């Protein structure tokens, strides 16, 4: 559908709400308070372009590093229970803490407005890498060995904390537990490097995770919820190829920093295992809308690494490319996600009534 020229709504977001199956007025939230603020700005810009290409009106809202919502530089105030006047659905293209961890989802629930993606509980679980792995382990999801180390624990008894971390083995990776986009990650090859790596992680988060290095290749699979509760779509798996020791921030967000191979160079049985585990994990943690599930694949061994409830939507991001390779083009994808959000709200309203 051709893009239309639309007048920008006022900062107060006033206006009538559309409830038809046609054009939607979508508030796209960008920025946020986390260290992934700039990544979110890029994601939101791409989401807005996709929604406009699908024929929808887009209301860009920037969430500042100070947490204030602004439209065209003017502060926006919202009231619990009153929704966002004039808005049909919210697409919160926010990454990291205060956007992807359940806090923004809780605010949108309080406002009473439909929103794209996972709800409060699933967002919180999946944003906490340690909690996610704890939940996954109880369900028998295969993954690497790991340990969660709290900053207070390390400060009180460094030797004991380092001992638990070292028990994972070497090489290993130390990460902030609540960040994405490979922020604050360090690879360690011996015990002497652990303390410094934990210090880097604790600069971002009070909880760090130490993970055993996995052999094989990194493979990612996109999951898209289907309307009406049907089986979610698991995309064609893609293989991440990069130059460095691990898939770091520069590789993810620098053009040419990584290459995505679709389909991944894995066997048919491993491919089927990836797709099945992606859907199983998506459902197990209660995700809705979308997710990207990351794996390590070594021959026939498939290990789940993590699940992202709001993967990047930048031009170099993987999720949209995986879905496009599976037959879901970008404008159709963002439109579907908004429709799913409205469908979920209708189900919830019916239960309350």
CB 78 within 8 A of CB 61: no
Contact 282, 294 (CB under 8 A): no
Structure tokens at 346: 């209708």
Q: Which two tokens stand for residue 328?
A: 């879901």
pTM score of the predicted model: 0.87
Indicate which residue of 101, 220, 288, 306 is catalytic. 306
Nearest CA to 119 out of 136, 110, 244 is that of: 110
From residue 297, alpha-carbon distances to 13, 51, 293 in Å are 47, 34, 13
Question: What's the order of all strands across the beta sheet hosting 69-71?
Answer: 74-75, 69-71, 57-63, 25-31, 89-92
Catalytic residue, chosen from 71, 271, 292, 344, is 292
Out of 225, 294, 330, 335, pick the active-site residue. 294
Superfamily of domain 125-142+215-331: ATP-grasp fold, B domain (3.30.470.20)
Tell me, yes or no, if 308 is annotated catalytic.
yes
Active site residue: 34, 123, 181, 317, which one? 181
Is 292 catalytic? The answer is yes
Domains 125-142+215-331 and 146-212 share a fold: no
In angstroms, the CA 12 to CA 29 distance is 15
Q: What is the pLDDT of residue 229?
A: 83
Average pLDDT per block of 10 residues along the chain, 353 residues long:
29 35 92 91 96 97 97 94 94 93 97 97 96 94 97 97 97 89 84 96 95 95 94 97 64 67 98 98 96 98 96 87 95 97 91 71
Domain boundaries, the chain: 125-142+215-331, 146-212
Q: Annotated catalytic, 128?
A: no
Q: Are 39 and 314 in contact (CB under 8 A)?
A: yes
Pick the catalytic residue from 25, 33, 36, 319. Answer: 36
253 is catalytic: yes
Given the candidates 3.30.1490.20, 3.40.50.300, 3.40.30.10, 3.40.1370.10, the CATH classification of the domain at 146-212 is 3.30.1490.20
259 has catalytic annotation: no
The token duo for 88 is 């049909």
Distances (CA, A) of 284 to 125, 277, 306: 11, 10, 13
| 82 classed as catalytic | no
- Looking at 115, 247, 253, 330, which residue is catalytic? 253
At residue 249, the pLDDT reads 55
Calculate helix-pair angle for 120-127, 103-111, nearest 10 degrees. Answer: 170
Closest C-alpha among 308, 274, 117, 260 to residue 252: 260
Task: Please pick, among 83, 119, 148, 312, the residue that the annotation labels catalytic.
Answer: 312
Quote the tokens at residue 159. 């030797």
């Amino acid at each position: 559908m051709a893009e239309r020229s639309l007048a920008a709504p006022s900062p107060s977001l006033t206006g009538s709400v559309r409830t038809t199956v046609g054009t939607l007025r979508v508030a796209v939230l960008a920025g946020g308070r986390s260290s992934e603020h700039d990544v979110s700005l890029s994601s939101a810009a791409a989401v807005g372009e996709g929604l406009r290409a699908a024929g929808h009106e887009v209301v860009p809202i920037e969430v500042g590093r100070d947490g204030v919502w602004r439209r065209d530089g003017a502060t926006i105030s919202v009231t619990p229970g009153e929704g966002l006047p004039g808005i049909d659905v919210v697409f919160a293209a926010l990454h990291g803490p205060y956007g992807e961890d359940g806090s923004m989802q809780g605010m949108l629930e309080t406002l009473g407005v439909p929103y794209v993606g996972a709800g409060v509980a699933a967002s919180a679980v999946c944003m906490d890498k340690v909690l996610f792995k704890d939940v996954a382990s109880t369900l028998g999801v295969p993954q690497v060995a790991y340990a969660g180390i709290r900053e207070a624990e390390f400060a009180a008894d460094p030797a004991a904390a380092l001992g638990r971390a070292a028990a994972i083995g070497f090489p290993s990776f130390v990460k902030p537990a609540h960040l994405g986009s490979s922020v604050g990650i360090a690879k360690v090859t011996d015990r002497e490097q652990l303390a410094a790596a934990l210090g880097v992680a604790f600069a971002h988060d009070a909880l760090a995770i130490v993970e055993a290095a996995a052999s094989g290749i990194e493979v990612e699979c996109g999951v898209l919820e289907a309307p009406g509760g049907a089986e979610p779509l698991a995309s064609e798996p893609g293989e991440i190829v990069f130059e460095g020791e691990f898939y770091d921030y520069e590789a993810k967000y620098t053009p040419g920093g990584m290459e995505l191979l679709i389909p991944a160079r894995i066997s048919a049985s491993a491919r089927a295992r990836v797709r099945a585990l992606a859907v199983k994990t998506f459902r197990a943690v209660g995700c809705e809308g979308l997710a990207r599930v990351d794996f390590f694949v070594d021959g026939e061994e498939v290990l789940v690494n993590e699940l992202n409830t709001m993967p990047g939507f930048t031009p170099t991001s993987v999720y949209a490319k995986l879905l496009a390779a599976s037959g879901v083009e970008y404008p159709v994808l963002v439109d579907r996600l908004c429709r799913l959000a409205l469908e979920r709200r209708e189900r919830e309203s019916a239960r309350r009534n």
